[in-house]
Structure 1
Amino acid sequence: MDPNTSSQDVIRCAQCETAVVQMHCVACIVNLCKACVGEHISDESKDHKVVKFQSRKTTPLYPRCTFHETERCEMYCRHCDIPVCLTCLHSDQHRSHKLSRIQQVLNEKKNFMKKELSELNETIYPTYQGIAAHVKIKMSQLEKEYEDISTVITNHGIYWHRNIDKIVNKLKTEVNEMKISQLQTLQQYFDNIYKKIVGIKSEIDSLDTCFAENTNDIARFFNLRPKVNQYKELPQNLVLFIPKFNPKTIQDEKFIHQFGGLSSIPFTTEDARIQTTQTSTQCGSSLLKKKFGSHLPRKQFNTDMFHFENYLQNIAYLSNEKIWICVFSNIIELYDTKRHLYTKTIRTKSGSVPADIAVTCSGYLIYTDDVYKTVDIVKNEKVVEMIRFKNWKPRNVCSTSFGDLLLTMESDEKQSKVFRYSGITEKQSFQFDDKGNPLYTYGEFKDICENRNFDICVADSKAKAIVVVNKAGKLRFSYIGHTPAPKNKPFSPRGITTDIQGHILTTDYDNKSVHIMDQDGQFLHYINCGKNYPYGICKDTVGNLFALCNDGFCKGYCVMKIKYMW
């Protein structure tokens, strides 16, 4: 039957190309008919081994010796890591070396490659898929976040009227350029990940094909060199920074420079590692998180201590190693942590002790006066009353990324509430959950901050809980501590802050520690503060945490500067 005109045919002899195959030369890997066997083995340059065609895969095909081409290797020198023939064994080259049957080494190699294949299939490949999926999600989120920024800029442009349209358009163009730049960087990052995924899939297919064929070609197995190790070292993770728009008010003819600008958005990378106990999506997400400086729980942090004689009331980070510190009096001082000295002193307008202090996104110091029921702001070292209340007392305060103020308030009727102010205008307030229950207790400390996903986080000391609501004021979750705590005492939250990764950090006064959780309230780590009781807290932009502490006996007060992320 002509193979060129037929879709099926029997296997023909490789020698005469006409007769049906009956025999097989294992050494030459050639199919023969009985009539051609004699002619084939007449070539004495090779060591032929002819078997029945049906038995061709039951006979091992030993590899040829590198040094003696006419001989096959049935042994393996583990010392030299090469197959050896009988001639090699009789030489002095392998004397005292450890030798094994090549079939045994083959079985070991097969088992090893099966493990490698399993790791590729079960761990490395899903991990890369998870990273790629997470990058796609981040790209989608990036679009939404940039839309929000453009909306804020547009609204601020309306406030400044038509004479600043040119500035608005210029800034929106910069936002678009930043977005395009970040999307391009993410796309390049995704393309590199996808190339690795294709490579991994190729390795898997190659190994799968080899095992599927069930070949007895030993040399083929030894020629396989899986490139698993080059995929074990994962690419460095990409950390995104979204720019912030910092609005300013019109003061004089220099309003063009006062309108505000966009912060820079550096890209950083970080090392990742294989997570074998997570699903691919969870793993990809976790690999993009920044590394903590320790694991649960530890004391070995890169820590500086700044000691003070007076009782420290509150703390707020300004910039460039400078922090505002409020002592238990009407004095707020700017402290330089590099030079270890005060550089500026502010006295409250009323002469009373501030309930809390904070720094606005424009760099102004603000404080709450719960005696006079005011929020005051410091400009050009002069204290100006910003907001005055009648039936509510302002307690803790923070400035949001869009320049609003968040305030925890208490009424004369012993109720607690959170207010949002834009300038002197009340924009929002929330007090109860969906069932009509109070979100916050009355009395004691209720520090407040905003997370990068716009959640509002309150450390309710009396309730012994962190209460987190979304930007609409709907309860998301409450965090009531993690067991076991370092000192095994009830959770006692005081200060609270968040970082660029969306982590929530809160001081646990009685357990002498700082809790770190993710933006969904899942506990991640402790920072053990040793003998110090932490209460006030703030952080800078490079992974440092500043915690107000005392020793519990009113003998000494300090600020701990803790390098908790890098």
Structure 2
Amino acid sequence: MIASQETTPCQEVVNCSLCRTPVSFFCRRCKINLCDSCIPGHLRVKSEFGHDVVDIGSKDEDDSCFCDAHPQYKCSAYCKTCDVVICIFCISIRHKLHEITELSSNVELFKRFSREKDRLQSFKNEIEPVLNHTNKLLSSFSSIYQKRKDEVSARGEEWHKQVEKTVKKLHQMLDDFKKENRTALQIQKTELEDMIGKINEICKKATKLQKANDIKEMQAFWSILKEKETIQEIRPYTFPSFAECQIDENYLQTYFGYIEKIPEQNVVLTERKLEYDVITDKRILQVPTVSCVIDSGFPPDEKYNARLYDMAVTDDKKVWVGGHSRELKLFDLQGHLHRTVTITCTGIYICLHNKQVVFSDNLKKAVKRVSDDDTVSTVFETKAWNPFGITSTASGDLLVCLRKDDQSKVVRYSSTGTVLQEIQYDSQCQPLYQWAWNIAENINGDVIVTDFKRNAAIAVNQSGMFQYSYGGEKRASELSSVTTDTVGHVFISDFRGDKIHMLDQYGKFLRYIIPRGERIDHPRAICMLDDDELIVGEYLSGLSKTIKFMEEQK
């Protein structure tokens, strides 16, 4: 039997545990996947429990119940004294003088009954630490919020009467967050306590029925045990932080500071542990600085004198740069050139996808990929639409800005080019974009697009519903590229204003990032190196500049 590699967009290939090729079989006793060629070798491996190789589709259809003490033997009896199913070997040794009953046809009920009870007990063990943490948050609640108020007040004293109105406003925001958080934590505490109490009652009843060996009652109680729901996600509530900024009369909101509510996201209990670090240990630098400069070396465009268009940062903090030539270049942060790849168009729009460079080819109306051996291949074609900005997503998809005539839209593609979603109109069937230019995905799933004609950044959620718009008025600014960090901040390069706009995840303006000393000139490309540093590409000079704008709190 040869395993098929065909998959749907929502399906992943299951690989052999030994050689990573597509799987066909499963060994129930060893709990591993096997391909055709690995079965003979696996069967030759000695195991005290033996092997039971079945078709992969039948892996979950095993009706056997094996003894915990002697896994090589099937269970054939139930010990009332010890409340456990046992094998014939156990009867003659450990349970010789105990009260024993035969399992016979009820073995499957015992097995399913125990499995569901264990599931609930395991879930209870997972959420009890969450309840403990919720109680700890409540105990330190007032002191943490008072500390934040003290920070705001201390900053306000420096500004005296000029900032009194701002201080009161921020106090009110903290009080609102405090009230909101307290209510949410109290609700969570009550829900968790109630849930654990109900689970205890069910498990107590289940244990009593097992000891009584009352099959009829167990069958009647089975639906209650089976259908008892468990939650899959827990929200770890966090506290807001106060971020101080440099005092400047021209930028009151930018340099005084702001209250930032740390994004709260549901955490799938089975996938990762809750992160309980609720207070950030970083703050924005009063004076952002340029820490290093890379010269891309691209020639100038004859019409606009442009040199550098876009950038993409690799996992090991190297930078792919696209400019006015049919080449992509890979630099390290010290400015050393590591690779040069010849492509089929100018590198105006690029991103990293599965650790490889992907770019929009306007000439061929296609999205293309650079492989590890520097060959260029077409991922998919965009047909009558011209591709512009492109970005990869947390789910492994590609988001592409497309334009045709006077229409513009964003399309989500799978890694093989299947169209998964189109974003073009708002809830009133009006166009969201006039010219979707550059694009980024935020940590909360929002899709943020800079619109060339509207001179604005437009955000929609994962479903394509409008969330907010930023800009669109000041002609002293020209919003170009966009990127985000791991806590949801949005950063937009201002081509005409020679600065970076910093927003929160809801589109609220926080501050400008304007480095002192070595300024940034006509910034276009922008990427995150980490949550402390940005790298900005200058359109006319061809230079890439790393800007440090965060530091550890002392």
TM-score (normalizing by structure 2): 0.52
Contact 1:406–1:420 (8 Å) recurs in 2: yes
Of 131, 139, 155, the residue aligned with 1:195 is: 139
* 2:233 matched residue in structure 1: none
| 1:373 has 2:373 as partner | no
* 2:419 matched residue in structure 1: 426
Contact 2:361–2:387 (8 Å) recurs in 1: yes
| 1:303 has 2:290 as partner | yes
User: How far is 1:275 from its partner?
Assistant: 5.9
* 1:491 matched residue in structure 2: 477
Of 476, 491, 508, the residue aligned with 2:494 is: 508
| 1:403 has 2:390 as partner | no
User: What is the rounded CA distance, in whole Å, between the counterparts of 1:293 and 1:340 in structure 2?
Assistant: 31
* 2:532 matched residue in structure 1: 543
* 1:113 matched residue in structure 2: none
1:339-418 matched pairs, under 5 angstroms: 339-348=334-343, 350=344, 352-360=345-353, 362-380=354-372, 381-411=374-404, 413-418=405-410
Of 544, 547, 551, the residue aligned with 1:562 is: 547
* 2:332 matched residue in structure 1: 336
User: How far is 1:475 from its partner?
Assistant: 1.4
* 1:282 matched residue in structure 2: 177
User: What is the rounded CA distance, in whole Å, between the counterparts of 1:524 and 1:538 in structure 2?
Assistant: 18
User: What is the rounded CA distance, in whole Å, between the counterparts of 2:24 and 2:242 in structure 1?
Assistant: 43
Q: Deviations 1:362-418 (Å, cap 9, x if unpaired)?
A: 21111110111111112222211111232111111000001000000111x331111
User: What is the rounded CA distance, in whole Å, between the counterparts of 1:477 and 1:231 in structure 2?
Assistant: 29
User: What is the rounded CA distance, in whole Å, between the counterparts of 2:376 and 2:362 in structure 1?
Assistant: 16
1:302-321 matched pairs, under 5 angstroms: 302-308=289-295, 309-310=297-298, 311-321=307-317
Contact 1:329–1:353 (8 Å) recurs in 2: yes
Give the letter aligned to residue 538 of structure 1. Answer: C
Give the letter aligned to residue 304 of structure 1. Answer: S
User: How far is 1:461 from its partner?
Assistant: 2.3
* 1:86 matched residue in structure 2: none
Give the letter aligned to residue 327 of structure 1. Answer: G
For 2:314, what is the secondary structure of its paired residue?
strand
Give the letter aligned to residue 433 of structure 1. Answer: D
Contact 1:294–1:301 (8 Å) recurs in 2: no
Q: Deviations 1:154-211 (Å, cap 9, x if unpaired)?
A: 8436797776996899xxxxxxxxx9999777655433232335xx6xxxxxxxxxxx
Contact 2:323–2:348 (8 Å) recurs in 1: no
Give the letter aligned to residue 560 of structure 1. Answer: K
User: What is the rounded CA distance, in whole Å, between the counterparts of 2:9 and 2:127 in structure 1?
Assistant: 21
Contact 1:366–1:375 (8 Å) recurs in 2: yes
* 2:458 matched residue in structure 1: 467
The Cα RMSD (Å) is: 3.8
User: How far is 1:471 from its partner?
Assistant: 1.2
User: How far is 1:509 from its partner?
Assistant: 1.5
**In the superposition, relative to structure 1, how do residues 292 and 558 fare at CA in structure 2: closer, same or farther (>3 Å)?**
farther
| 1:156 has 2:12 as partner | yes
Q: Deviations 1:434-462 (Å, cap 9, x if unpaired)?
A: 222211114xx710011111111101122
1:17-416 matched pairs, under 5 angstroms: 155-156=11-12, 187-197=131-141, 233=147, 276-282=171-177, 287-288=239-240, 291=243, 296-297=254-255, 300-308=287-295, 309-310=297-298, 311-337=307-333, 339-348=334-343, 350=344, 352-360=345-353, 362-380=354-372, 381-411=374-404, 413-416=405-408
User: What is the rounded CA distance, in whole Å, between the counterparts of 2:125 and 2:377 in structure 1?
Assistant: 42
For 1:156, what is the secondary structure of its paired residue?
coil
Give the letter aligned to residue 476 of structure 1. Answer: Q
User: How far is 1:319 from its partner?
Assistant: 2.2
| 1:458 has 2:449 as partner | yes
User: What is the rounded CA distance, in whole Å, between the counterparts of 1:371 and 1:302 in structure 2?
Assistant: 39
User: How far is 1:565 from its partner?
Assistant: 3.3
User: What is the rounded CA distance, in whole Å, between the counterparts of 1:478 and 1:436 in structure 2?
Assistant: 17
User: What is the rounded CA distance, in whole Å, between the counterparts of 1:181 and 1:233 in structure 2?
Assistant: 33
* 1:528 matched residue in structure 2: 514
User: What is the rounded CA distance, in whole Å, between the counterparts of 2:391 and 2:360 in structure 1?
Assistant: 10
User: How far is 1:332 from its partner?
Assistant: 0.4
User: What is the rounded CA distance, in whole Å, between the counterparts of 1:508 and 1:358 in structure 2?
Assistant: 20
**In the superposition, relative to structure 1, how do residues 154 and 427 fare at CA in structure 2: closer, same or farther (>3 Å)?**
closer
Give the letter aligned to residue 385 of structure 1. Answer: T
Contact 1:317–1:540 (8 Å) recurs in 2: yes
* 1:59 matched residue in structure 2: none
For 2:138, what is the secondary structure of its paired residue?
helix
User: What is the rounded CA distance, in whole Å, between the counterparts of 1:478 and 1:233 in structure 2?
Assistant: 34
Larger Rg: 1
* 1:477 matched residue in structure 2: 468
Give the letter aligned to residue 320 of structure 1. Answer: D
Q: Deviations 1:523-551 (Å, cap 9, x if unpaired)?
A: 1111015352211111023421111125x
Q: Deviations 1:95-153 (Å, cap 9, x if unpaired)?
A: xxxxxxxxxxxxxxxxxxxxxxxxxxxxxxxxxxxxxxxxxxxxxxxxxxxxxxxxx99
For 1:462, what is the secondary structure of its paired residue?
coil
Give the letter aligned to residue 514 of structure 1. Answer: I
User: What is the rounded CA distance, in whole Å, between the counterparts of 2:476 and 2:448 in structure 1?
Assistant: 20
Q: Deviations 1:6-41 (Å, cap 9, x if unpaired)?
A: xxxxxxxxxxxxxxxxxxxxxxxxxxxxxxxxxxxx
User: How far is 1:419 from its partner?
Assistant: 0.6
**In the superposition, relative to structure 1, how do residues 233 and 299 fare at CA in structure 2: closer, same or farther (>3 Å)?**
closer
User: What is the rounded CA distance, in whole Å, between the counterparts of 2:490 and 2:394 in structure 1?
Assistant: 16
User: What is the rounded CA distance, in whole Å, between the counterparts of 2:389 and 2:126 in structure 1?
Assistant: 36
Contact 2:309–2:524 (8 Å) recurs in 1: no
**In the superposition, relative to structure 1, how do residues 453 and 560 fare at CA in structure 2: closer, same or farther (>3 Å)?**
same
User: What is the rounded CA distance, in whole Å, between the counterparts of 1:500 and 1:185 in structure 2?
Assistant: 25
Unaligned stretches of 5+ in structure 1? 1-151, 170-178, 201-227, 236-273, 483-487
Q: Equivalent pairs: percent with the same residue? A: 23
Q: Deviations 1:47-66 (Å, cap 9, x if unpaired)?
A: xxxxxxxxxxxxxxxxxxxx
User: What is the rounded CA distance, in whole Å, between the counterparts of 1:513 and 1:320 in structure 2?
Assistant: 27
User: What is the rounded CA distance, in whole Å, between the counterparts of 1:320 and 1:181 in structure 2?
Assistant: 38
Give the letter aligned to residue 156 of structure 1. Answer: E
User: How far is 1:300 from its partner?
Assistant: 1.1
**In the superposition, relative to structure 1, how do residues 475 and 379 fare at CA in structure 2: closer, same or farther (>3 Å)?**
same
**In the superposition, relative to structure 1, how do residues 193 and 547 fare at CA in structure 2: closer, same or farther (>3 Å)?**
same
For 1:368, what is the secondary structure of its paired residue?
strand
